[in-house]
Amino acid sequence: MNMTTAVPKKQALTSLEDFSAIAPVLYTDLSMDAVVCHVDKAIAQKFLPSKNYVPLTYMPGQVLAALLCFEYRATGIEPYNEVALVLPLAKYGQTFFPGVLSALSELSTNTMNAHVIELPVNTELSLRGGVEVFGYPKFLADIQFLNEGRRRTCEIRDKEERFLLLRMGLDAHSGFAFGKTRFVFHTYPIRHGHTLKTTFKMEFDDLRINPFPKKFSLELGGGAMAEACNLLLRHPLLTLSVKKGKGALELPEVLHG
């Protein structure tokens, strides 16, 4: 991954011109904790903006949903945390291939597509840039990560009230270690009535996938994100963890047609 020098984190970064000066935005030290679930396709489709968003099929009538918790310890703007509730996509737009075949084609090149439903962050700068430049559905929340014995916790609060608490096992010997892994994540937010395509290139030093998520728990409070999680994350399939990684977020591309 080609990394360039990061700029001072105090820049405004609330317009396309601001981001153009430093693009791509670099993430030189990050960690990730995630859970992937299966959900009824009829439920998931209620969260998709149009038929161009083709959800990734798990089995007939079932698609995938995921919660991704990121701790960005060093970036080209400032350190911040975010949590993404997403629906993985087989493809965006019309395709001649069934959903699973499209997804396998993308995964063969380590490419993943997703629709972002909710994206809380914990700093004003990441909020403004994400909403105004990238069209992400971001909102401001308190996001805290904590290691509790053999578990890692991600807690989200809004106005002092907890509405989501994710706990995952930290057993270094459970699941499968994939070591250094590269992925390209594409999302398709809508800004000012136009669909965008975003690209986040990531490199994980120590990706671990556990297909037996017995040490996973999710506690929910109130609010729109908690309600969406309650519908989409009832049936966990696997968990993912990355202790060390890096990434580069490119400027969004406007899709036509």
Q: What is the pLDDT of residue 8?
A: 42
Domain 28-254: which topology?
Answer: Acetoacetate decarboxylase-like (2.40.400)
Q: What is the pLDDT of residue 87?
A: 97
β-sheet bridge partners, residue 240: 34, 209
Q: What is the pLDDT of residue 196?
A: 96
Q: What is the pLDDT of residue 105?
A: 59
pLDDT digits (tens, 9 = 90+) for 185-215: 999 999 999 999 999 999 999 999 988 777 7
Q: What is the pLDDT of residue 17?
A: 67
Alpha-carbon dihedral angle through residues 122, 124, 129, 135, given to the nearest 10 degrees = 60
DSSP-assigned letters across all residues of 17-68: HHHHTTPSEEEEEEEEEEEEEEEEHHHHHTT-SSTTEEEPEEETTEEEEEEE
Name the H helices within 34-181: 41-45, 99-107, 124-132
Residue 40: count other Cβ atoms within 10 Å of its Cβ: 14
pLDDT digits (tens, 9 = 90+) for 8-23: 444 556 666 676 667 7
Question: What residue ranges of the chain have pLDDT lower than 70?
Answer: 1-17, 19-21, 94-109, 170-173, 257
pTM of the predicted model as reported, rounded to 2 decimal places: 0.89
44: alpha, beta or left? (left if phi > 0; alpha if psi -120 to 50): alpha
